[in-house]
Amino acid sequence: MQSNFSPSSVPTRHAIRGALLDFVADPFYYPELECVRYFPDGLLVVESGLIQAVGDYGSLQAEYSDLPTTHYSNQLIMPGFVDTHIHYPQIEMVAAYGEQLLEWLNQYTFPTEAKFQDESYARKIAACFLDELLKNGTTTALVFAAVFPESVDAFFTEAFQRNLRMIAGKVMMDRNAPDYIRDTTESSYEQTKQLIQKWHKKGRLLYAVTPRFAVTSSDRQLQLAGQLLQEFPDVYLHTHLSENVKEVALVSELFPDSNGYLDVYDQAGLVCHRSVFAHGVQLTDAEFERLSAAQAAIACCPTSNLFLGSGLFKFDRAKSRAHPVKLGMGTDIGAGTSFSLLQTANEAYKVAQLQGMSLSAFKSLYLATLGGAEALNLAEQIGNFTPGKEADFIVLDLQATSLLKLRNPQVPPTLETLADTVFALTILGDDRSIQATYIAGELAYERIGSTGASSGAYSSAHASAS
Interaction site with ligand GUN (CB under 6 A): 87, 101, 105, 109, 212-213, 240, 243, 304, 332, 335
101 binding partner (options Zn ion, ligand GUN, none; Cβ < 5 to 8 Å by kind): ligand GUN
CB of 51 vs ligand GUN, minimal distance in Å: 34
Which residues are CB-contacts of 418 (< 8 A; sequence separation ≥ 6)?
21, 36, 38, 412
CB of 193 vs Zn ion, minimal distance in Å: 23
* Residue 36 or 335 with smaller CB distance to Zn ion: 335
389 binding partner (options Zn ion, ligand GUN, none; Cβ < 5 to 8 Å by kind): none
Distances (CA, A) of 453 to 72, 290, 436, 450, 466: 5, 48, 10, 8, 8
* Residue 310 or 450 with smaller CB distance to ligand GUN: 310
* Residue 113 or 332 with smaller CB distance to Zn ion: 332
Q: How far apart are CA 241 and CA 238, in angstroms?
A: 10
Q: Which residues bind Zn ion (CB under 5 A)?
A: 278, 332
CB of 85 vs Zn ion, minimal distance in Å: 6
What is the 8-class DSSP label of residue 27?
A: T
Beta bridge partners of 293: none
One-character DSSP codes across 125-177: HHHHHHHHHHHTTEEEEEEE--SSHHHHHHHHHHHHHTT-EEEEEPEE--SSS
CB of 253 vs Zn ion, minimal distance in Å: 22
* Residue 28 or 104 with smaller CB distance to ligand GUN: 104
Compute how many other C-beta atoms are within 10 angstroms of the C-beta atom of residue 263. 19
CB of 87 vs ligand GUN, minimal distance in Å: 5
For residue 411, give the nearest of 71, 100, 184, 132 by alpha carbon: 71
Residue with CB nearest Zn ion? 332
213 binding partner (options ligand GUN, Zn ion, none; Cβ < 5 to 8 Å by kind): ligand GUN
Peptide bond into 80 cis (omega under 30): no
37 binding partner (options Zn ion, ligand GUN, none; Cβ < 5 to 8 Å by kind): none
54 binding partner (options ligand GUN, Zn ion, none; Cβ < 5 to 8 Å by kind): none
* Residue 174 or 332 with smaller CB distance to ligand GUN: 332
Which segments of 323-463 does DSSP mark as H helices, in order?
341-353, 361-366, 372-375, 402-407, 415-428
3-state secondary structure of 416: helix
CB of 198 vs Zn ion, minimal distance in Å: 24
CB of 336 vs ligand GUN, minimal distance in Å: 8
CB of 168 vs ligand GUN, minimal distance in Å: 14
* Residue 71 or 238 with smaller CB distance to Zn ion: 238
* Pairing, β 69-79 against β 434-439: unpaired
In 245-285, where do the E strands start and end? 275-279
CA 153, 298, 366 angle in degrees (round to 5)? 95
In 162-235, where do the E strands start and end? 165-169, 171-172, 206-211
* Residue 304 or 340 with smaller CB distance to ligand GUN: 304
* Residue 280 or 429 with smaller CB distance to ligand GUN: 280
